[in-house]
Chains A and B, each alone.
Chain A
Amino acid sequence: MSAPDTDELIVRFGREIGAFLDRAGKSEHTSSMFDLRRRTLIGSYCYFDHLPWALDILEDLTTPDELGGSGRGICRPVYAPLIHGLLWGYLIARENELGLGRQGGPDESLELVVRWWEGMSRAVRADGSLLPHEAGWTQPSAPTELIAGLLDRHGDRDASEVSHVTATLQIYNYVLHGEQRGTTFFHGPYPMGDGAHAIVEQFTQLRSNELPWSLTPPLPFDSVAAIFELDEDVTVEFDLFQGMYASPTDYLAHARRAALLAFDNPEPIPVSEAEGDELLAATRDEQKRLFREMLRWDTAYRASYAVWHYFDFLVAFLKQAGAPPVFVEEARRRFEQTVTDRLDELLALEEIPVWKRLYARPDPLFSLLGAGTA
């Protein structure tokens, strides 16, 4: 990839992030419980410090096209927001370094990250587009015929019952991930004929993840997805991370069909009403435990915990590519090292340059190749 091509992709990604921030109404990044600005940044620094190392490993095992393509489907280990998260993390840490008057890392590292991101992003969509906002706020991630087939076989559930389960899982996932949507992912729309379209709301790694506070996962399923077929008068739009915006907002009142499926096995299995109730009960109890545990975290951990989210996401790529466990452990060691090297400085910063820049929305949002190099 040429340098101008890399720069063009950095500009486009920045515009997509700007559109996302505008759309999500994000004018601040604060919480009563967590240090959201620093937590995002310490996790991002893990990518800034080690993503090129991880991509070098992936280069020996697979290709961006193959790894991104593995994400096509429902509840796949690698999926679109994780792919976008790699570049997002790398770029905001780089931008923070530049804002602090330091170097932004080698250009060849940035080129490597952008090249992998572009290849995987195109492959997971497989529609010739790259980013949701650029493509009319769409984020298809699965073959339409797969969605249609699952609705034909299993789309007989009551939409409000299904949505009660998904709402509970959203809340659980949000708590589990310390105030971020984590592995909740809306994707679509998928045309179903007669003007109707389907959306997918999926939850992955509910049991199996790398989050230290989730050591004894009590949930009966690891991956669950709801599929809703919506009337033609419902408009749905998707951002590059996990979000969906629907008009009218009570879109579930316009659902024609709904399915609730577990994806823990090669073939999806319908989640019965009794299993849904079991899932709800386990989720309710566990999130209360998590909430109380998180309240005991000290100031430093209320920022540094995010490293495990970023690690968890990176591990999905390594495992999917077939990287031996030694690389996963090496990644863990490297991420811990970034916390050792960078957390104290981050906690001491009164103003964090990258957030100031993100909210000011310059264009380009992210600095191009060559910025800050010696």
Chain B
Amino acid sequence: VSEIGRGRLVAGGSQQVRGRFTAVLEVDALLGLLDSDDGELIIYLSRPNVTMIAPLYERLVGIVCEHGNETSHVAIVARELSLPCVVQAHLEHDIEELEGRWVLIDEEGTLRLQ
């Protein structure tokens, strides 16, 4: 298990979660996911935009955003859904390298690769 990045945990945090890293930076990526049944996703967004999680939220185990803060709409919704949400995340790997890999979000907002 190696650390791949960290950010501010603004929702969740009672336990670590494990899921498949899935970047959704454009709507096209979201459309691709709509046509699949993949679950246990840790979704990675650039902006904390709820639209980008809306069709998928049941399949998420965690949310990671490059930007955002504790008042972002994504963070508010994540709290109500009891999902961990990490904002202002800095990743030490290219996003493409992480796509589809199993990742942990721990109780401190650290992301680790399994």
> Do A243 and B27 have beta carbons less than 8 Å apart?
no
Selected interface stretch from A82-90, A173-181, A330-338, A345-353: A173-181
> Do B50 and A250 have beta carbons less than 8 Å apart?
no
Whole-angstrom distance from the CB of B63 to the nearest CB of chain A?
Answer: 12
Q: Contact string, B39-61, partner A, CB cutoff 8 A, digits 1/0? A: 00000000101111111011000
Whole-angstrom distance from the CB of B82 to the nearest CB of chain A?
Answer: 6
> Do A25 and B72 have beta carbons less than 8 Å apart?
yes
Q: Is A167 interfacial (CB 8 A cutoff)?
A: yes
> Do A32 and B52 have beta carbons less than 8 Å apart?
yes
How many residues on A have C-beta within 8 angstroms of the other chain's C-beta atoms?
A: 31
Contact of B81 among A30, A164, A250, A295 (CB under 8 A): A164
Q: Is B36 interfacial (CB 8 A cutoff)?
A: no
Whole-angstrom distance from the CB of A206 to the nearest CB of chain B?
Answer: 15
Q: Is A209 interfacial (CB 8 A cutoff)?
A: no
Question: Measured between alpha carbons, how far is A160 from B54 in the docked complex, in Å?
Answer: 19
Question: Measured between alpha carbons, how far is A287 from B77 in the docked complex, in Å?
Answer: 15
> Do A295 and B31 have beta carbons less than 8 Å apart?
yes
> Do A249 and B10 have beta carbons less than 8 Å apart?
yes
A167-B77, A249-B11, A249-B79 known; A25-B71 Cβ under 8 A: yes
Whole-angstrom distance from the CB of A243 to the nearest CB of chain B?
Answer: 7
**What is the number of contacts between chain A and chain B, taking CB atoms within 8 Å?**
76
Question: Measured between alpha carbons, how far is A70 from B24 in the docked complex, in Å?
Answer: 43
Q: Is B75 interfacial (CB 8 A cutoff)?
A: yes
Whole-angstrom distance from the CB of B5 to the nearest CB of chain A?
Answer: 21
Closest residue of chain A to B58, judged by CB? A284
Question: Measured between alpha carbons, how far is A23 from B71 in the docked complex, in Å?
Answer: 8
Q: Is B73 interfacial (CB 8 A cutoff)?
A: yes
A31-B49, A171-B50, A179-B49 known; A250-B55 Cβ under 8 A: no
> Do A179 and B51 have beta carbons less than 8 Å apart?
yes
Q: Dominant SS at the A interface?
A: helix
Chain B residues, Cβ within 8 Å of A171? 50, 53-54, 57, 77
Question: Measured between alpha carbons, how far is A87 from B11 in the docked complex, in Å?
Answer: 34
B79-107 interface with A by 8 A CB criterion = 79-82
Q: Is B4 interfacial (CB 8 A cutoff)?
A: no
Chain B residues, Cβ within 8 Å of A163? 79-82
> Do B54 and A243 have beta carbons less than 8 Å apart?
no
> Do B81 and A174 have beta carbons less than 8 Å apart?
no
Contact of B55 among A181, A245, A291 (CB under 8 A): A291
Contact of A174 among B50, B58, B70 (CB under 8 A): B50
Chain A residues, Cβ within 8 Å of B58? 284
Question: Measured between alpha carbons, how far is A301 from B43 in the docked complex, in Å?
Answer: 28
Closest residue of chain A to B24, judged by CB? A32
Closest residue of chain A to B75, judged by CB? A249
> Do A33 and B11 have beta carbons less than 8 Å apart?
no
Chain B residues, Cβ within 8 Å of A168? 57, 81
Q: Is A141 interfacial (CB 8 A cutoff)?
A: no
Closest residue of chain B to A170, judged by CB? B77
> Do A287 and B49 have beta carbons less than 8 Å apart?
no
> Do A167 and B51 have beta carbons less than 8 Å apart?
no
Q: Contact string, A154-196, partner B, CB cutoff 8 A, digits 1/0? A: 0000001001101110111011000101000000000000000
A247-265 interface with B by 8 A CB criterion = 249-250, 252
Closest residue of chain B to A172, judged by CB? B54
Whole-angstrom distance from the CB of B74 to the nearest CB of chain A?
Answer: 10
Whole-angstrom distance from the CB of A259 to the nearest CB of chain B?
Answer: 16
Chain A residues, Cβ within 8 Å of B27? 32-33, 295
> Do A288 and B55 have beta carbons less than 8 Å apart?
yes
Q: Which residues of B contact A (CB under 8 A)?
A: 10-11, 13, 26-27, 31, 34, 47, 49-55, 57-58, 68-73, 75-77, 79-82
Which 4 pairs, one residue from A and one from B, show the smallest C-beta to C-beta distance? Answer: A167-B80, A163-B80, A167-B81, A175-B54
* Besides A32-B47, A174-B51, A291-B34, 8 new A-B residue pairs in contact (Cβ under 8 A), listed by A number: A25-B71, A32-B51, A32-B52, A163-B81, A163-B82, A172-B54, A175-B54, A288-B55
* A-B pairs with beta carbons under 8 Å apart, 13 shown: A31-B51, A32-B26, A32-B47, A33-B51, A167-B81, A170-B77, A174-B54, A175-B54, A179-B51, A243-B71, A252-B80, A284-B58, A288-B55
